[in-house]
């Protein structure tokens, strides 16, 4: 691949996070640092803590961390769960697994409802587990709205209904990292207690900010929680003294970027954002559907309604190598895909299609992937990209 070693043109970033950062956001971050305890930053911070709420569709308080999404996971756990507490986690893939691992290292007991990684959360199973928990030992149900590893989107309102049907007081916690700003999420309407988010996916920012949105019930739980914590502690971050809102020096540049990101979300509006994601994801699914006809590749998500609008995990049959597709895309076509995670390592590749994306971007990606399938010699139905073209042409009027 020597002759390709000098790359020209833009890399097509189709990892499921980080995603493409709009120039507007990069420019908003291209500025000097400012006094983070001065009036200008104070005003900005007040705005941001107010304007991040509608992103989660909540009236509740949202905490902003200088952290990865994993940091926000820990913040969510450490504020409402004490060592020895128990949680229920319906498996959805790599990220339900990792969050569970994290909980366990924090001395939290996890009841993990295993699954085949091809289906979303079964609300009935959750309900049954909670009904069985007569003592209410389970303090929280941990869910992942879209598991980036399996590209499965679960039905969060159905989980809420399951908890309610069981009449169980467990907190409903939702990881929205891979879904926020790409599909509907309504914290308050859905009765979510803690939502976890991050900057580098639907919000189109560089990695570096984690979010926890909280219900009042969650904030009350935090008061009683005995987990040793300081950086993550919601209590400190509600202080009147604004320099404590970020626990130390505020991550100014990411906040400058977040200001612009929220502006962009508000300009476009959720309806259009979700429709755009659905339409572009539709193009991906058209292409994958055609490629799948030859039997060597397939959707990981078995149920059509559970296929994510932000990422698509594509399985390759035994005898083929998912990582080879990824490498061919990367080395020959400057397209960055995600690899298979966990039990899917080498057995899948993933196309991210969330954030700052439009028609020719996804078409370029799909056409390049189709070329890579040729290069790799993986049997596939011919005309996947063509099918995506047809889909986008047919739906152009409604866009």
Among residue numbers 216 through 275, which ones bind a copy of itself (CB under 8 A)? Answer: 227-231, 233, 246-254, 264, 267-269, 272
Q: Which is nearer to a copy of itself, 89 or 163 (CB)?
A: 89
Distance, in Å, from the CA atom of 203 to the CA atom of 257, rounded to the nearest integer, reads 10
For the beta carbon of residue 34, count every other beta carbon within 10 angstroms.
Answer: 13
66 lies in the binding site for a copy of itself (CB under 8 A): yes
Contact 298, 292 (CB under 8 A): yes
Find the shortest distance in angstroms from Cβ 98 to a copy of itself: 9
Across the chain, where does the E strand assignment appear?
A: 12-14, 62-66, 86-90, 109-113, 138-144, 146-147, 152-153, 171-175, 194-198, 209-214, 297-299, 311-316, 335-339, 348-352
Which of 166, 385 has the CB closer to a copy of itself? 385
- Using CB under 8 A as the binding rule, the residues of this chain from 75 to 114 that contact a copy of itself are 78, 83, 102, 105-107
Write out the binding residues for a copy of itself, residues 314-343 only, by CB under 8 A.
328, 330, 332-336, 338-339
Query: Binding a copy of itself by CB under 8 A: which of 32, 224, 304, 305?
Result: 32
Q: In this chain, which stretch among 3-11, 42-50, 122-130, 154-162 interacts with a copy of itself, using CB under 8 A?
A: 3-11
Is residue 303 part of the contact set for a copy of itself (CB under 8 A)? Answer: no
Of the listed pieces 70-78, 121-129, 293-301, 302-310, which binds a copy of itself according to CB under 8 A? 70-78
Strands (E), 122-245: 138-144, 146-147, 152-153, 171-175, 194-198, 209-214
15 binds a copy of itself (CB under 8 A): yes
Name the β-bridge partners of 90. 113
CA-to-CA separations, 328 to 125, 184, 267, in angstroms, rounded:
41, 34, 37
384 vs 363: CA distance, rounded Å: 10
**Choice between 219 and 290, CB closer to a copy of itself:** 290
> Could you tell me the two tokens for 376?
């790799």
Q: Which of 128, 263, 343, 386 binds a copy of itself (CB under 8 A)?
A: 386
DSSP 8-state secondary structure symbol assigned to residue 5: S
* Distance between start and end Cα atoms, the chain: 40
Q: Binders of a copy of itself among 137-176, rule CB under 8 A? A: none
Q: How far is the CB of 234 from a copy of itself (least distance, A)?
A: 13
Verify binding: residue 278, a copy of itself, rule CB under 8 A: no
């Amino acid at each position: 691949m020597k002759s390709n070693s000098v790359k020209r043109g833009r890399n097509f970033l189709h990892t499921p996070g980080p995603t493409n950062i709009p120039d507007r956001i990069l420019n908003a971050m291209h500025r000097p640092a400012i006094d983070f305890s001065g009036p200008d930053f104070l005003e900005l911070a007040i705005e941001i803590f107010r304007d991040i709420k509608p992103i989660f569709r909540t009236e509740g308080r949202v905490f902003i961390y200088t952290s990865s999404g994993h940091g926000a996971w820990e913040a969510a756990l450490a504020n409402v769960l004490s060592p020895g507490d128990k949680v229920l986690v319906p498996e959805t893939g790599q990220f339900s697994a990792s969050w569970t691992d994290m909980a366990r290292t924090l001395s939290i007991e996890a009841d993990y409802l295993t699954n085949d990684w091809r289906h979303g959360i079964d609300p009935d199973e959750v309900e049954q587990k909670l009904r069985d928990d007569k003592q209410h030992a389970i303090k929280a149900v941990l869910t992942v709205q879209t598991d980036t590893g399996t590209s499965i989107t679960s039905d969060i309102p159905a989980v809420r209904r399951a908890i309610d049907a069981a009449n169980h007081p467990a907190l409903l916690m939702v990881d929205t990292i891979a879904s926020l700003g790409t599909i509907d999420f309504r914290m308050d309407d859905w009765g979510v207690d803690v939502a976890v988010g991050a900057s580098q996916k639907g919000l189109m920012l560089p990695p570096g900010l984690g979010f926890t949105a909280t219900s009042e019930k969650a904030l009350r739980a935090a008061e009683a929680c005995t987990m040793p914590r300081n950086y993550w502690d919601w209590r400190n971050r509600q202080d009147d003294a604004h320099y404590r809102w970020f626990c130390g020096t505020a991550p100014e540049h990411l906040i400058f970027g977040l200001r612009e990101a929220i502006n962009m979300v508000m300009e476009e509006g959720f309806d259009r954002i979700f429709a755009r994601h659905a339409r572009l994801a539709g193009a991906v699914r058209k292409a994958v559907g055609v490629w799948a006809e030859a039997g060597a590749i397939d959707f990981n998500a078995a149920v059509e309604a559970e296929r994510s609008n932000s990422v698509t995990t594509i399985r390759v049959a035994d005898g083929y190598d998912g990582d080879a597709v990824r490498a061919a895309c990367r080395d020959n076509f400057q397209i960055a895909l995600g690899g298979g995670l966990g039990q899917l390592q080498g057995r899948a590749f993933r196309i991210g299609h969330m954030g700052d994306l439009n028609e020719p971007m996804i078409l370029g990606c799909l056409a390049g992937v189709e070329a890579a399938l040729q290069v790799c010699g993986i049997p596939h139905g011919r005309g996947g990209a063509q099918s995506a073209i047809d889909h986008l042409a047919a739906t152009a009027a409604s866009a």
